[in-house]
């Protein structure tokens, strides 16, 4: 069967005009799959971060980041990184990772050299790196794109 993650499964190549674009649920499934593949030491903690999938970043987020083009932002971590948290801190809400479907799809199309699930996983790991406070070397150990 031909899918966005496996476009040539039948050997005949993709039938793009007749395929629906991956939806919000598809992006969420791919992101959760990336979390499931994390090293065990991080996996459980990563599941406590709220995952939100949207078409684009909300305007207030773009404004706060001084961004005009919503296609520039594929993901965002909102929260306090674990290394900066204190038991004395008052929780302001859950830590959240946002993934933005349309910018991710645009990057995927522009790249043309990577499976969509791999790109979603890369964005998810990048945002988790903010949450965990990972160094570049720690990110590279999990996500080979970082090397």
Confidence (pTM): 0.83
Nearest-CA neighbor of 96 among 83, 80, 73, 85? 80
Q: How far is CA 35 from the centre of its chain?
A: 10
d(CA 53, CA 96): 10
More confident residue, 137 or 7: 137
Domain assignment present for residue 4? The answer is: no
Residue 54 burial class via C-beta count within 10 angstroms: exposed 0-12, middle 13-18, buried 19 and up: middle
CATH code of residue 46: 3.30.2010.20
Q: For the chain, what percentages of helix, strand and coil (3-state, to nearest 5) are there?
A: 50, 10, 40
35-to-2, 118, 122, 128 alpha-carbon distances in Å: 25, 12, 11, 9
Give the number of domains in the chain.
Answer: 1
Q: pLDDT tens for residues 44-80?
A: 999 999 999 999 999 999 999 999 999 999 999 999 8
Domain assignment present for residue 68? The answer is: yes
Token reading at 74: 């594929």
Report the pLDDT averaged over residues 104-108: 96
Report the pLDDT averaged over residues 20-38: 95
Its domain, for residue 114, covers 21-146
Q: What is the mean pLDDT of the chain?
A: 87
């Amino acid at each position: 069967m031909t899918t966005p993650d496996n476009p040539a499964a039948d050997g005949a190549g993709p039938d793009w005009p007749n395929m629906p674009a991956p939806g919000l649920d598809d992006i969420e499934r791919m992101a959760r799959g990336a979390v499931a593949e994390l090293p065990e030491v991080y996996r459980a903690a990563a599941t406590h971060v709220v995952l939100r999938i949207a078409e684009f970043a909300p305007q207030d987020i773009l404004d706060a980041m001084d961004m005009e083009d919503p296609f520039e932002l594929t993901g965002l971590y909102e929260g306090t990184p674990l290394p900066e948290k204190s038991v004395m801190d008052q929780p302001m809400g859950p830590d959240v990772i946002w993934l933005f479907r349309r910018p991710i799809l645009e990057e995927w199309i522009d790249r043309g050299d990577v499976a969509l699930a791999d790109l979603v996983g890369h964005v998810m790991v990048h945002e988790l790196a903010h949450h965990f406070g990972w160094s570049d070397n720690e990110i590279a150990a999990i996500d080979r794109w970082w090397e």
